[in-house]
Structures are given as C-alpha cells and as structure tokens.
Amino acid sequence: MKKALITGIAGQDGSYLAEFLLDKDYEVYGVEKSCSILPVQIKSRIKYCYDIDITKPALLKKIIREITPDEIYHLAAYHFSSQNEGNKNKSFKQFYLINLLATNEILETIKVYLHGCRFFYASSGQIFGKTDCFPQNEHTPFRPDSLYTITKAAGTNLCQFYREHHGIYASVGILYNHESFRRPLSFVTAQIAISAAKAFLGVPVKLVLRDLDAKVDWGAAQDYVRAMWLTLQQPRSDDYIVSSGVSHSVREFAKIAFNTVGLNSNDFVSQELNVKMNEKIPFVGDPSKIKNKCNWNSIISFDCLVKEMVDSYVDLLRSELTTF
C-alpha cells in the first residue's frame, strides 16, 4: 500500500485528491491548518490529519520523516481571488512562508531523508503574468505580476532546481482555473453558482462583478487532481500545463448557471461601472504535453461543470431552508 501526504487536504483540490487516492487504496495522510474543516466522509477514511501551521518548518519536516510517504502533494497555498481588490494590501511574508519556504523545506527533507519520495507542486497558470504568448505552454517565460504569482513562479523554479541538481523527483502542475462545488465563495465561479441557486429558490439576488467579458480557461477540479496523480506515475519528473485549452467568458459562465435553473442571468448579474480593465492576452494553457506523456484528458465539460455547481448549491440551500 502506497502512502501519500497531502498539504492543504481540506481545500477543494486536497479533498478531491484524498478521495481519488483512497479509491486507489493509498494510505492517505493530511496536513491542514484546521483539520476540523475536513469533510467527515473524508476524515473517517484517511489515516491521519495533522493540524499544524506549515510555516513551522521543524514540525513539518518531523511529520514527513515519521510518515515516510511515497508521494507528497503540496497543495497548500496562500491564495487570492481575482475579484478581491484587497489582495493588493496583503503582506509578502505570508505568500513567501506558505508558497515558497514550506516548499523548500519539503524538498530539502526529501533530499536528506527520503530521496525516493515523489513530490508534486501545485503551481498556477497565473505565473505567466502579462504574457505575449497564446496559448501558454511549458516553455512560455514567467512574468509574474503579483505577490502570489511571484512566489508561485519561484516555487516552480525551486522544484526545477532540486530536480536538476539533486536528482529529486519533483513534478510541477501549472494549473489553470479549475472549479467545483467545493470552491470557496471568494471565487467568482462560486459566487455566480450560489447566486443562481438562491434566485431559483426565491432569494433576492443582485450580483455585481468586475469584468463580465474576462476570458478564463476553466476546468473541473476532479479532472485536475487526476492529472496531479498521473504526473507522479511517470518514469521521470517534469513540468506540465494542466488546462482545458479553451476559454470562456465570465458572462458565459453566468448565462449557463442561470439557464440551469430556467432563469436569465441578465436579470441578476451586472458589471461594476467605471472599472478600467487591463488589456492583456488571456490565460489559456496548451495541455498537449500532459495529454501525450501522461495520457490525461479532461472528462467533465464546461457546461456540466457549471450545471453541477449550481445543482449542488440548490440541494445545499434547499436543505438549509428545510432545516430552519
């Protein structure tokens, strides 16, 4: 039985990855800042969840040495939402400690104690920043333009360094936007999906978004965690773009979401006035490499993804209304 350690196990990706690995008979361990938020159906199946702050290097290293995992999936991240202007005021320290320092500590522990352990780092398509390439691939230059993407790009480079100079099996998934019902409400997709569900159930809805015409390469989280696992099953570690390869506008997402419940999105969703949008090439990834080398393909279509999110919120809100 293989052993896997997942940092950020209670997040969207971590929880789906845990379920995926459990179904493949892995012994799964988790690291989370608060294990109490891990869904009960997952917590009851995994071996153990360590309730720790991963910015404490000594404790993180101790746990890895105790578990001696065959695979480590580093999904924990200090994140951001494109809809939240407050991101500009966040401290670099938190981005650095979680997105970069913790990554280095894990890789160093593998180098010293667990050289045969395979490591996956969850990077982001946002690291390409103000790119002039379309679509982006594994050779597209990094041009990070935020604190989040600066640390994610550095984490990607760090994995490449340990791979090339220390022979560590360190694969990187450069992940484009991937959504599900488990996506936090700070993300625009979740805001749209729950708004559609509320409107269907008769709750007053007025959703104002920054840019309805923004183009996004969206996929399903369930497909992307399968890609993570596939990257670690290859003979050699490498970097992979994980994306749908197709872009859709926020307006289109909203239209499908409200159509799912028989409503018109124009009646509930509007755009902020006098908001100056940045003119830049959209983030759309070229997934050819992971498709060819890892035999990965997305299974859940864009329309099905949106519909599943809305239907799940309808079921959740309906049960809450029934309870109260």
- Give yes or no: residues 264 and 171 share one domain: no
Ordered DSSP codes for 178-189:
EE-TTS-TTSHH
Does pTM surpass 0.75?
A: yes
The mean pLDDT value for 121-127 works out to: 96
End-to-end CA distance of the chain: 44
The mean pLDDT value for 283-290 works out to: 96
Residue 90 burial (CB count, 10 A) = 15
- Examine residue 145 and state whether it is found in any structural domain, yes or no: yes
pLDDT at 172 over 50: yes
- Examine residue 175 and state whether it is found in any structural domain, yes or no: yes
Cα gap 277→281, rounded to integer Å? 12
- Any residues with CB less than 8 A from the CB of 30 and at least 6 apart, and which? 5, 6, 7, 9, 10, 14, 18, 38, 46, 48, 49, 50
Which alpha helices (H) appear in 119-206, and where do they start and end?
Answer: 147-166, 188-200
pLDDT (0 to 100) of residue 85 = 44
- Examine residue 27 and state whether it is found in any structural domain, yes or no: yes
Least confident of 62-71, 74-83, 100-109, 216-225: 74-83
Return left, alpha or beta for 288; rule: phi > 0 is left, psi -120 to 50 is alpha, else beta: alpha
Q: Identify which of 269, 273, 234 has the alpha carbon closest to the alpha carbon of residue 255.
A: 269
- Give yes or no: residues 46 and 79 share one domain: yes
58-71 pLDDT, tens digit each? 888 999 999 999 99
Provide the pLDDT confidence category of residue 320 given band limits of 50, 70 and 90: confident
- Give yes or no: residues 224 and 205 share one domain: no
In this structure, are strands 27-32 and 239-242 parallel, antiparallel, or unpaired?
unpaired
pLDDT at 205 over 70: yes
SS3 content of the chain, % helix, strand, coil (to 5): 45, 15, 40
Residue 39 burial (CB count, 10 A) = 12
Q: How many domains does the chain have?
A: 2
- Give yes or no: residues 237 and 307 share one domain: no
Cα gap 185→179, rounded to integer Å? 11
Residue type, 71: E
pLDDT at 86 over 60: no
Cα gap 114→112, rounded to integer Å? 6
Provide the pLDDT confidence category of residue 312 given band limits of 50, 70 and 90: very high
Cα gap 205→207, rounded to integer Å? 6
- Residues above pLDDT 90, as percent of the chain: 76
Residue-range definition of the domain harbouring residue 79:
3-179+219-242
- Give yes or no: residues 52 and 73 share one domain: yes
- Examine residue 129 and state whether it is found in any structural domain, yes or no: yes
Burial class from Cβ neighbours inside 10 Å (0-12, 13-18, 19+) for residue 62 reads middle
- Give yes or no: residues 128 and 206 share one domain: no
- Give yes or no: residues 118 and 140 share one domain: yes
8 Å CB contact between 56 and 19: no
- Examine residue 294 and state whether it is found in any structural domain, yes or no: no
8 Å CB contact between 24 and 13: no
| CATH code for position 196 | 3.90.25.10
- Examine residue 119 and state whether it is found in any structural domain, yes or no: yes
pLDDT (0 to 100) of residue 88 = 54
Residue type, 197: A
Place of tokens 């991240």: 77
- Examine residue 291 and state whether it is found in any structural domain, yes or no: no
- Give yes or no: residues 132 and 197 share one domain: no
Q: 135: cis peptide before it, omega within 30°? A: yes
The mean pLDDT value for 2-13 works out to: 96
pLDDT at 274 over 90: no
- Give yes or no: residues 155 and 205 share one domain: no
- Give yes or no: residues 170 and 113 share one domain: yes
Total length of the chain: 324
| CATH code for position 138 | 3.40.50.720
Place of tokens 């200090």: 78
- Examine residue 293 and state whether it is found in any structural domain, yes or no: no
- Give yes or no: residues 158 and 10 share one domain: yes
Which tokens in the block code for residue 265? 């999105």
- Give yes or no: residues 146 and 66 share one domain: yes
Instruction: Indicate the DSSP class of residue 136.
Output: B
